[in-house]
Amino acid sequence: MSAWQPNGFAGDLLSVRVTVEAFLLECLLDTLAEAPFPINPEIHHHAEIERDGRRLPAVHVDFPLWRHQVDPIRDLLRGRPFQAGFQVTSMLQDIRA
């Protein structure tokens, strides 16, 4: 059994995935840079999303967040003129997958 636990004074550690159309990656990264805390994104270019019955090139941007940091990121994304998929999972679940 490991002594490391994905929770602490800041709550649970979560894994966040934001997905946007590929041409919007720079706009998404600029948006994430406005967060009141540092974000270390991992970018996955080989993704697709479906929009209006068409499959479009997309990018997944993954990063860890503490539970109390999720709402500020959601609020940042809501105020933008682009659509972003937003998925949150438990870090333990992400590590096990």
pLDDT score for 35: 96
User: How many structural domains compose the chain?
Assistant: 1
Give the DSSP H or E segment for 4: none
Q: Which CATH number goes with the domain that contains 61? A: 3.30.70.120
What is the average per-residue pLDDT within 35-56?
Answer: 93
Q: Is residue 1 part of a domain?
A: no
What pLDDT digit, counting tens, does each position of 51-88 carry?
Answer: 889 999 999 999 999 999 999 999 999 988 888 999 99
Q: Is residue 3 part of a domain?
A: no
pLDDT score for 1: 41
Q: Which domain holds residue 50?
A: 11-96
64: left (phi over 0), alpha (psi -120 to 50) or beta: beta
What pLDDT digit, counting tens, does each position of 27-36 carry?
Answer: 999 999 999 9
End-to-end CA distance of the chain: 18
State the CB neighbour count (10 A cutoff) for residue 13. Answer: 18
Q: Is residue 5 part of a domain?
A: no
Q: Is residue 6 part of a domain?
A: no
